[in-house]
Amino acid sequence: MIAELGHYALVVALIVALIQAVIPMIGAQKGWSDWMNVAASASIIQFLLVSIAFGALTYAFVVSDFSVRLVALNSHSAKPMLYKVSGVWGNHEGSMLLWNLILALFGAMVALSGRNLPPVLKARVLSIQAMISVAFLGFLLFTSNPFLRLPLDQVPIDGNGLNPMLQDPGLAFHPPFLYLGYVGLSMAFSFAIAALIEGRVDAAWARWVRPWTLAAWIFLTIGIALGSWWAYYELGWGGWWFWDPVENASFMPWLSATALLHSAIVVEKRDTLKAWTVLLAIVAFSFSLIGTFIVRSGVITSVHAFANDPARGVFILAILGITIGGGLTLYTFRASQLRSNSVFSMVSRESGLVLNNLLLAVAAAVVFVGTIWPLVSEFVMGEKVSVGAPFFEQAFTPFMVALIMVLPIGAMMPWKRARLGRTMRPLWGVLALSVALGALVWSLQTGGRMLAPVGITLATWIVLGALADLGSRAKLFKASAGETLRRLTNLPRAEWGKMLGHLGLGLTVFGISAVTAWQVEDIRTAQFNQPYDVGGYQVELMDVTRHEGPNYSALTGRAVVSRGDEVMTLFPEKRVYTAKQMPTTEAAIDMGLTRDVYVVLGDQQDNGGWAVRTYIKPFADWIWIGALVMALGGVISLTDRRYRVAAASKKRAPVNATPAE
């Protein structure tokens, strides 16, 4: 009966979402406060109902109720408990239930925390959020019901098991974080559409929308980093990014959300770029929906995509078309009302942020075109084409290089009007040191790629530029130590968060440049007790033994890797999972701040040796350290009292309930 309870809870949640979508919107239009108040109560009730459904499905997985079709297909009684729980969202139906849970969660959070939101705006925001819920609850119930039962004579003793590649801690936590980011952008979309209906965007609106966008950006950053880290150590190919369509599906909304965060600052501080900011909010969530279509339509094949029947893809395509089409149509008719009288010089922080936005928007467009072009080519011209890493690296990288070059300069410019020479004064030393460090790296490497010196120059520029910005605000070396300390302690948390965000980007750029330019790869057939050299390390395969895991059997190699006094023993594995009889590769990695030693065991060869791949990856971990520093910067910014939704200090003057003419 638990599964049936979950199903009924979803049905009632759909009814509540319909009420929430219609009644408050009418109330906002007519100025009826009682009808507007329905929005908050319905949001909370909807979240509780979807939580009951999610709890019911989780219970079915935990107790291995194989009479539930989804559990039978995606779980096994021998699975560790962590993967029984993560199996809830390790499939199409369960992951869509998680999507609906997070969608309802954000609505409930606005209902509970938005005490200072004007009632009309709050009602419209929650009503639009409910419309999105109606679409996805309908999709779940009509095409992807997670609570379907198997006939009694078809209930297995043990289930089919979860995809072995998903039985990993990184993939247990990666989807929830990613979904919190994807779905979190729905709040920015709802605020944007509500603003278009009202015909009004101002500094208060920017303060209300920015925390939700920032929270989504933080979760997206962590989710993308977890996915990259998982691909690095779990798939055994030695890479951290492949420009896979599913990877791009999360990267496009991240780029758009990054642009939106910076654009919202201009709205808040200078009351300009209002129409552009609203458009970015629509585009950012649209990319989330496009990513959902790519992953779930079955039009692409990926190790972490859900290839399903085309009917589901058509349903999602309809949701995508209505949401994006409706949002952009409303924008077309209403954007002209979002005028601003604010002016600024061509050399100003506003201009710097506009350039920042344009570069991020074009970069996102490049990723979108490269991702969607194979589908368009096959559908329109009947030709199968492949767009791989070379295209993205050549087309995407120049815009990121330009962005990094202008970022420290734009961050230090004053609002409205600036002088480039004056802005550059504290940055000349940073620029000289960055170029000198890049030149030093270039002179030390023998025949290496220019990627390393250029990347290290850019990374140093952005890291030291962020620190120089902080020092300038604190009047470092220009005031007494006490005055500098006082200024640092009184800086808003958003400034500290900005510094960490830019610093983290620099660390990631450094890691990408170093590992791409300097990594060493060796592929060979290794014989026992016959050492070989890789990148200054001596590697020796000692033996390969068989052992049994909780739900798999494994061949485990023992490799001794040494350099001077540094000796490490690594144990790469080849596993075969009992339920699916699917082989996987488990790389053995000795991680360090300056290098990773990465060993992969392949198949046994005819001559008795074993295929072994060995990589030496300099500074690889800095990629994910930088991502975590970026996320930490976002968290610190989110705690700034100016951006706490529940304590927003700037209130609007009352407006009519009807849309502006």
Three-state SS string across 315-368, please? HHHHHHHHHHHHHHHHHHHHHHHCCCCCCCCCCCHHHHHHHHHHHHHHHHHHHH
Contacts of residue 213, defined as CB under 8 A and 6 or more positions apart, other chains included, come to 184, 185, 187, 188, 257, 260, 261, 264, 281, 284
- Average confidence (pLDDT) per 10 residues, the chain, 661 residues: 94 97 95 94 97 97 93 86 89 93 96 87 96 95 93 86 74 89 95 93 90 96 94 86 89 96 91 92 94 72 54 84 93 86 84 94 95 84 83 94 95 89 91 93 76 93 95 87 90 93 97 93 95 95 90 91 95 84 87 95 91 96 97 94 53 43 32
Based on the fold, state whether residues 511 and 529 are members of the same structural domain: no
Return the number of other C-beta atoms located less than 10 Å from residue 462's C-beta: 27
Question: Do residue 509 and residue 537 come from a single domain?
Answer: no
- Would you state the structure tokens that stand for residue 306, as one six-digit string? 């859900």
Distances (CA, A) of 306 to 182, 295, 300, 309: 17, 6, 9, 10
Residue 433 falls inside a structural domain: yes
Q: Is the pTM of this model over 0.85?
A: yes
Within a domain: 575: yes
Residues 443 and 509 in one domain: yes
CA dihedral 190, 192, 193, 194 (to 10 degrees): 80
**Domain check: are 425 and 506 in the same one?**
yes
DSSP per-residue string spanning 421-451: HHHHGGGHHHHHHHHHHHHHHHHHSSS--TH
Are 504 and 457 contained in the same domain?
yes
Q: Give the integer Cα–Cα distance in Å for 194 and 188.
A: 10
- Amino acid found at 337: Q
| 188 occurs within a structural domain | no
Query: Which of 448, 483, 515 delimits the end of a domain?
Result: 515
**Do residue 478 and residue 536 come from a single domain?**
no
Whether residues 501 and 530 fall in one domain: no
3 state DSSP class of 604: strand
The answer to the question of residue 590 being in a domain is yes
- Torsion sign across C-alpha atoms 261, 262, 268, 274: negative
Q: Is residue 503 part of a domain?
A: yes
- Quick check: is 462 in a domain? yes
Number of domains in the chain: 2
Domain extent at residue 588: 520-618
Check residue 467 and give its pLDDT: 94
Kindly state whether residues 526 and 440 are assigned to the same domain: no
Spatial contact of 57 and 6, defined as CB atoms under 8 Å apart: yes
561 and 545, same domain (yes or no): yes
- Boundary-marking domain end, from 474, 489, 515: 515
Domain end residue (candidates: 454, 485, 515)? 515
Pair (478, 454) in one structural domain:
yes
How many Cβ atoms are within 10 Å of 656's Cβ, its own excluded? 10
Q: Are 508 and 431 in a shared domain? A: yes
Any domain includes 576: yes
**What does the alpha-carbon distance between residue 331 and residue 79 come to, in Å, rounded to a whole number?**
49
Question: Nearest 5°: CA angle at 185, between 180 and 191?
Answer: 135
Indicate whether 483 and 461 sit together in one domain.
yes
Question: What residues contact residue 597 under an 8 Å CB cut-off, 6+ apart?
Answer: 537, 561, 568, 570, 589, 590, 614, 615, 616, 617
427 within a domain of the structure (yes/no): yes
